[in-house]
Amino acid sequence: MKYLMTTAAVLCATAAWAETPVLKVYTYDSFVSDWGPGPAVEAAFEETCGCDLQFVGAGDGAALLARLKLEGARSDADIVLGLDTNLLAAAKETGLFAAHSVSADYTLPVSWSDDTFAPYDWGYFAFVHNTDMTAPTNFSALADSDLKIAIQDPRSSTPGLGLLMWVKAAYGDEANAIWSGLSDNVLTVTKGWSESYGLFLDGEVDMVLSYTTSPAYHLIAEEDASKAAALFDEGHYMQVEVAGKLAASDQPELADAFLSFMVSDAFQSIIPTTNWMYPAVTPTAGLPDGFETLITPASSLLLSPEDAAAARDGALAEWRNALAQ
């Protein structure tokens, strides 16, 4: 009975909105949660677009792409928001995306020119620790230390894959040696970010693979200055999160409008304290107080989508062999 009523309610709602165009944005789950950017973004965009913006959440970035592939060209998504550079080669290969017309002065530490995907935020991967310890300054020092770390499995988690690319981008053919050195430091590998971060907060590990922006959450939302990210002198690997327009969208103009809105101040100023990442275009008001305390890597590492896709299987085998010993 309850489901009948729900279905009826949905049908009625659809009928009532028939006049208003609907823009469907597929994104990862944490973007649409009550604590993510979703609700604020929806309110801000609907003020100006005369449309109904609907977010559909699907797991994380990888699950999002899998979902899109399942639905294929019949998908009623207009926009996909939340892929990162490691997934872009696979995303382009689907042929489901159309070129965008967005232009903006991105404040990314690397130059961005991609005609299919536009970035909306970015961050650096980093090992987060408590400030009561002296953190190592590179992977070799970490490998030589007795510190215990928790990382995520690159086969099930996007940050986990990011770490794989980080070591690969920084050390190339010597990545294998670095992983062998790290194998006694890796206390455990978890399915996703939440599990690792939970282990760290419970004091089970000294450091956890996360983002340089993680301490900002504790500082701003919890007024807790006891967390910091370790600055590594090899440079830090970046995660750039992007959105793209689907070729089969029935609202192409609205989709373009959304992508332009995405790089505007209204959207970008929501990002730092909801997604806890750096905005792709720094808002005119600047970053929120607290972000100035975060570490700034000397160099930014990022493999192109093609290189990342090509390196993945080899790097994964290397990782598995080094840690399985």
Residues that bind other proteins (CB under 8 A): 2-3, 6-7, 10, 29-30, 32-36, 38, 55-59, 62-63, 65-67, 69-71, 74, 90, 148, 153, 155-156, 161, 183, 186-195, 197-199, 201-205, 214, 217-218, 221, 276, 319-320, 323-324
**CA 226 to CA 207: how far, in whole Å?**
13
Q: Which two tokens stand for residue 305?
A: 């989508």
Task: Write the burial class of residue 50 (CB in 10 Å: 0-12 exposed, 13-18 middle, 19+ buried).
Answer: exposed
Closer Cβ to other proteins, 24 or 100, answer by number: 24
CB of 144 to other proteins, least distance (A): 19
Closer Cβ to other proteins, 285 or 324, answer by number: 324
**CA 274 to CA 40: how far, in whole Å?**
9
Closer Cβ to other proteins, 100 or 129, answer by number: 129
CB of 317 to other proteins, least distance (A): 8
Determine contact, residues 50/257, Cβ cutoff 8 Å. no
CB of 156 to other proteins, least distance (A): 5
- Range 299-302 contact pairs with CB under 8 angstroms and sequence separation of 24 or more: 299/234, 299/235, 299/236, 300/109, 300/110, 300/124, 300/235, 300/236, 300/238, 301/166, 301/169, 301/170, 301/234, 301/235, 301/236, 301/237, 301/238, 302/85, 302/110, 302/169, 302/237, 302/238, 302/240
Determine contact, residues 160/188, Cβ cutoff 8 Å. no
The 3-state DSSP class for residue 120 equals strand
Closer Cβ to other proteins, 214 or 268, answer by number: 214
Closer Cβ to other proteins, 144 or 222, answer by number: 222
Closer Cβ to other proteins, 189 or 271, answer by number: 189
CB of 1 to other proteins, least distance (A): 11
Closer Cβ to other proteins, 15 or 285, answer by number: 15
CB of 296 to other proteins, least distance (A): 22
- The pairing of strands 300-301 and 236-246 is parallel
CB of 16 to other proteins, least distance (A): 16
CB of 233 to other proteins, least distance (A): 26
CB of 115 to other proteins, least distance (A): 24
State the amino acid at position 255 in one-letter form: A
Determine contact, residues 273/288, Cβ cutoff 8 Å. yes
Nearest to 186 by CA among 147, 241, 240: 147
Closer Cβ to other proteins, 98 or 316, answer by number: 316
Q: Which two tokens stand for residue 87?
A: 């997934």
